[in-house]
Amino acid sequence: MLKRNLQTLILGSALLWGAAHASTQPANEAGETTLGLYVTAQEAHEKLQAEGSARLIDVRAPQELMFTGYATGTDFHVPLMNVDTSRFDEARGTFGMSRNPEFTDTLTAQLEAAGISKDQPLIVMCRSGTRAAQAVNLLAEAGYTNAWSVVDGFEGHTEEVDGAIQHSGGWRTIGLPWSYELDPAVVTVE
């Protein structure tokens, strides 16, 4: 009886959480996923705290983690894209990015090794939401059904205000737990 009441409480909490956060949407079409599951960084943090089975996946390049930090409690890191130093984008003043051809195989192997089921909640984060959406779509193609995209990512969205770049939203920007200290057991380096 106690077990059934506990299961009912957990299911009810999950349904209420989902209903309360169902309006979160990506900033643009590039952030849309085939699963249609979206959270803000704040909602992701709440979901991770409320659901013990939820896992956080960071898909940014290793250089990004090194220079901007990453969320404390990240369970998996596999870069969707890697910095390509052979391609310099003069218009943006930065190096190009190249798709990691091993992304899906590497991530699914790590998830399987950790005993993660295909319906377990996975929260996927990148810098600002676009790569997370792409990664969620690849997870969906691999059969994962409960992968959520963090629409504002780790750093949030940027905009220029009075000549200065400002961030809005995002894990680090809103003050959720993060660190520069990388965990070698989590970080994937190709």
pLDDT tens-digit map of 126-149: 999 999 999 999 999 999 999 999
| CATH of residue 77 | 3.40.250.10
pLDDT tens-digit map of 143-171: 999 999 999 999 988 777 788 777 678 99
CA 190 to chain centroid, in Å, comes to 19
In-domain check, residue 188: no
In-domain check, residue 3: no
In-domain check, residue 186: no
In-domain check, residue 127: yes
Could you tell me the residue range of the domain that residue 107 belongs to?
23-179
**Tokens coding 46:** 């709440």
pLDDT tens-digit map of 62-114: 999 999 999 999 999 999 999 988 888 888 888 889 999 999 999 999 999 99
In-domain check, residue 145: yes
Task: Count other Cβ atoms within 10 Å, centred on residue 21.
Answer: 18
Task: Count other Cβ atoms within 10 Å, centred on residue 22.
Answer: 11
In-domain check, residue 13: no
In-domain check, residue 137: yes
**What is the reported pLDDT for 164?**
79
